[in-house]
Chains A and B, each alone.
Chain A
Amino acid sequence: MKYIRERALPHTHCPGCGNGIVAQCFLRAIDRLGLDMSRMVFVSGIGCSGWIPSPFFKADTLHTTHGRPVAFASGVKLSRPELNVVVFTGDGDGAAIGGNHLIHAARRNIDLKVLLVNNMIYGMTGGEVAPTTPKGIRTTTTPFGNLERPFDLPRLVMGAGATYVARWTTIHVGQLVASMTKALRRRGFSFIEIISQCPVRYGRNVGMAEPEKMMRWFRDSSIPLAKARGMGDKQLKGKFIVGEFADFEAPELTEEYEKLFKATAA
């Protein structure tokens, strides 16, 4: 209870939702690092993932308008660079309406940790198709099957220049904690996509209404990055490539500002 606002309980996540796993993994990473929650700021958007830190984490939490947590978080971080600013967002919030802010923050290499929980659907609004929904899937707004290709988010964010990019699923708890730990420790834009089960809005459409069925699917369809590099497109169809896609150093934005302040000091 060190990390949870008791008065906000009980939580409101659906039974079986991957949010609980994501929250646990994250708090485990915080705990292992011995981080002080009063030096953290959690910024989250609109959607189920937004409710991971807000209102449940015992820390400063900023629940923004839809799609904008990365932009709000940028203002927080630039103004108080010593604070550890973490964004929780979803596939719709972060990659549809929020896509522009995502790629620019990556480009800037601003020290934000962006945890994007991808359940491949707009869960909170009832199950509409998302830019991460696989082609052909039936949703409330693709009753005849999704006509569009989904995003490959690590590729998108890497294309924008992100210096740390990882993808895991909710079955990869050990790796997830490790990636989150790395992200929390390093300086620079750090992006982790977490494929997560939404049994109620996604699982039900594809014959996996039980969360454990979805998680078994994640386990059986995950290919580690190193292995995937040796596989062809046909073999990778429908699979989740997991691992760390990028991890390198580049000038971080708030450090660049500090240099500017020193250079222009009267």
Chain B
Amino acid sequence: MQGNEACARGAIAAGCRFFAFYPITPAGEIAEQMSRLLPKLRGTYIQMEDEIASISAVIGASWTGAKAMTATSGPGFSLMQENIGFAVVTETPCVIVNVQRAGPSTGIPSLPMQGDVVQARHGSHGEYEIIVLAPSSVQEMFTLTVEAFNLSERYRTPVIVLADEIIGHMREDVAIPEQSHLKIIDRKIPKTPGEAAAPFLDEEVAPMPLFGMGYSVHVTGSCHDKFGYRNVTDPESIDQLVRALANKIRKHIDQIARIETRCTEDAEVIVLTYGSCARVAQYAVEEARRHGAKAGFVRLISLWPFAREIVAEAIGDAKKVIVLENNLGQIVHEVERIIPAHSEVAFLPPEIIATLHRPDYVLESILKAVA
């Protein structure tokens, strides 16, 4: 199965019944699948007039209770940023898939890059936290899309699935579990309409009232109090809002952040990476071990919030961390920030950006580091 198709199937399995989209390479296949799979489930596929309309419709649908998703690539992702911020501040669950392509700007639509990593974290204006997951296989295009919905419902936040053209277009075997074996999380809804519960700004996640059920909920992107009422006068109110929303994510980092580690216990050199680069890294680390080098592998599954503690723990006593990214250095700076004093960070992009690292190239750098 193709990665993009697995993503669509993951969305459906998670309960997604609203998908709004604007055509863009290399995300098209996600839309094609959704347009085929949704109607018999009474789900809506709508092709909107642009990416801004797509994310707008997704947010609108989410407020009626629907699990809603859109998919895009760099140029569309840039257009969506304003409304991603709106989804953050209104605590609207939704999933945005960005199948990254070579940029900036129009770039090369059918080549991979990991250029949107910092943008995924800080693309919208203002101060906020957001959850970003990075699939590195077709299987993960399924499972992490399910996970993205679960996280978005649990924490009432937009979640970004940050794939790239390689992961989106490659074909691998996928195991699709029985629906009954999947763990699906749904947002908490207030028990009774008219209940006085405050629908916003709870660090433990407020229950979400839905439209059309008599809650008379006021949803606004303006600074608001926990009842949703606007306060555009007092700095204290935006202080409260910004901190509460950030804490809602930060306080739960243990439940949100996830990494994969292999052979890190005694590793002297660690290769740290995410997404499609992880495929090469894993191979290179295994080869290095065969050469007798004590190499370890750390793969970030969630990119944001950056899992400082578990990454530092995984690095352990290693003397060097080689960070692989298909860009000129984005997540590497987070690693530099938390690197233990006894260790150092090296950044290794592919010899040619917008391609996968050559496995031998990565192997060489590991062996050199160990020597």
Contacts and interface: CB of A to CB of B under 8 A. Distances in A.
Interface of A: 5, 7-8, 37-39, 41, 43, 54-55, 58-65, 68, 71-80, 82-83, 100-101, 104, 257, 260-261, 263-266
A38 B60 contact: no
A76 B61 CA distance: 5
Contact of B216 (A58, A101, A264): A58
Contacts of A72: 56-57, 59-60
Contacts of A43: 60
Q: What is the interface residue range for chain B against chain A?
A: 35 or more
Contacts of B18: 75, 78-79
Contact of B53 (A37, A58, A104, A261): A104
B40 interface: yes
B51 to A, nearest CB: 10
A116 B213 CA distance: 27
B192 interface: no
B52 interface: yes
Interface string B60-71: 111111101000
Contact of A71 (B57, B193, B215, B220): B57
B286 interface: no
Max chain A Cβ within 10 angstroms of own Cβ: one of B65, B215, B217, B218? B218
B48 A104 contact: yes
A5 B44 contact: no
Given A71-B57, A75-B20, 14 more contacts: A55-B229, A59-B216, A63-B220, A64-B86, A71-B53, A72-B57, A73-B60, A74-B53, A75-B57, A75-B59, A75-B64, A78-B18, A104-B53, A265-B40
A210 to B, nearest CB: 29
B39 interface: yes
A198 to B, nearest CB: 20
Given A65-B83, A78-B44, A100 B49 contact: yes
A121 B214 CA distance: 35
Given A60-B212, A60-B216, A79 B39 contact: no
Contacts of A60: 63, 211-212, 215-217, 219
A82 B212 CA distance: 9
B83 A68 contact: yes
A54 B50 contact: no
B80 to A, nearest CB: 11
B58 interface: yes
A181 B17 CA distance: 32
Interface in B319-358: none
A41 B63 CA distance: 10
A102 to B, nearest CB: 10
B49 A104 contact: yes
A80 B212 contact: yes
Given A38-B214, A60-B217, A80-B211, A261 B39 contact: yes
A39 B214 CA distance: 7
A66 B20 CA distance: 19
23 contacts: A8-B229, A55-B229, A58-B216, A63-B219, A63-B221, A64-B86, A65-B86, A68-B53, A71-B56, A71-B57, A72-B56, A75-B57, A75-B58, A75-B60, A78-B57, A79-B60, A79-B61, A79-B64, A79-B66, A80-B64, A83-B212, A101-B56, A104-B49
Interface string B140-153: 00000000000000
Interface string B205-232: 0000001111111111110000001100
Contact of A38 (B52, B216, B230): B216
